[in-house]
Amino acid sequence: MGTVVDDAASVEFHDFFERHYSELARLAQLLSGESDAADDLAADALLALWHRWDRVRAADHPVAYARGVVANLARGRIRSAVRERRRITLVWSQREDRSENPDVPGMVDVQEALRRLPFRKRACVVLRHSFDLSEKDTALTLGVSVGTVKSQTSKGMAELQRLLGPREAPRADDKWFGPGRNLVRLHGI
> Which pLDDT does position 70 carry in this prediction?
94
Give the span between the Cα atoms of 183 and 156, in whole angstroms: 15
* Overall average pLDDT of the 163-182 stretch: 52
DSSP three-state, residue 47: helix
pLDDT in tens, 98-141: 555 443 343 346 778 888 899 999 999 989 988 888 999 999 88
User: pTM above 0.85?
Assistant: no
How many Å apart are CA 4 and CA 143, to the nearest integer? Answer: 34
How far is it, in rounded angstroms, from Cα 74 to Cα 31? 6
Q: How far is CA 84 from CA 27, 71, 89, 146, in A?
A: 23, 20, 9, 33
Tell whether the model's pLDDT for residue 46 goes beyond 80.
yes
DSSP-derived 3-state class of residue 167: coil
Share of the chain above pLDDT 90, in %: 42
